[in-house]
Amino acid sequence: PHCSIAALQGRNMDRDRFILHLNAADFAVAVERLTDSSLRDRPVIVAPLQTARSVVYDMSNEAYDAGIRKGMALHQATRLCRSASLIPPRFELYAKAMSAFVDEARTFSPVVESGAGDGHLFLDLSGTHRSIGPPPDVGWRLRKRIRNRIGVDPIWSLGSSRVVAKVASRVVKPVGEYIVGPGEEASFLAP
């Protein structure tokens, strides 16, 4: 990981705050790829297809690299990436996958906050190290568990606040983990 695990060693973990951020990048696309393996490793755009002013709801990393962005007009997106597979959103499927994602996380923390069904979770691991292990171990174990049970491979990051953890996950997107140890927040956020 891109971190200083040494910053966690020798710390009184009872006093420090640890927020784990899980981010299943491009969540709708990740779920669609679970149901249709032919979509793997190719550009995918999730957007309503039958509306005149349709906009991109989600896109794969390959489509992002081609210039596609969330909220972009679908007609513009298809001009930028003609090879993209177009998929209509299936919100019920994403909600079911998000529910499974949250259920897995709840086994590790009593405090779990989720985004708007977008594959983002925040877990407060403060003071839980004696019952479930050190926060970095929880991150690795939870990522492996979610990957094995749900099929989605989330990024995870650890910080002293939601903001620090969220920024850390953006540093390693689309794959990886990042730990910002206690006291490293200012130097991490400075750039």
Chain segment 48-67, per-residue pLDDT in tens: 988 888 999 999 999 999 99
Q: What residues of the chain score a pLDDT lower than 70?
A: 1-14
Q: What is the pLDDT of residue 127?
A: 79
Q: What is the pLDDT of residue 60?
A: 95
Give the DSSP H or E segment for 112: strand 112-114
Q: In a 3-state reduction of DSSP, which class is residue 25?
A: coil
Q: In a 3-state reduction of DSSP, which class is residue 49?
A: coil
Q: How far apart are CA 172 and CA 121, in angstroms?
A: 16
Q: What is the pLDDT of residue 16?
A: 83
Residue 38: CB atoms within 10 A of its CB come to 8
pLDDT single digits (tens) 63-90? 999 999 999 999 999 999 999 999 999 9
Task: Characterize the bridge pairing of strands 44-46 and 85-87.
Answer: parallel
Q: What is the pLDDT of residue 126?
A: 85
What token pair was written down for 160?
Answer: 């002293």
Beta bridge partners of 120: 23
Q: How far apart are CA 101 and CA 117, in angstroms?
A: 10
Give the DSSP H or E segment for 135: helix 135-149
Residue 115 has what DSSP assignment?
-
Q: What is the pLDDT of residue 8?
A: 53
- Predicted TM-score (pTM) of this structure: 0.83
Q: How far apart are CA 111 and CA 118, in angstroms?
A: 18
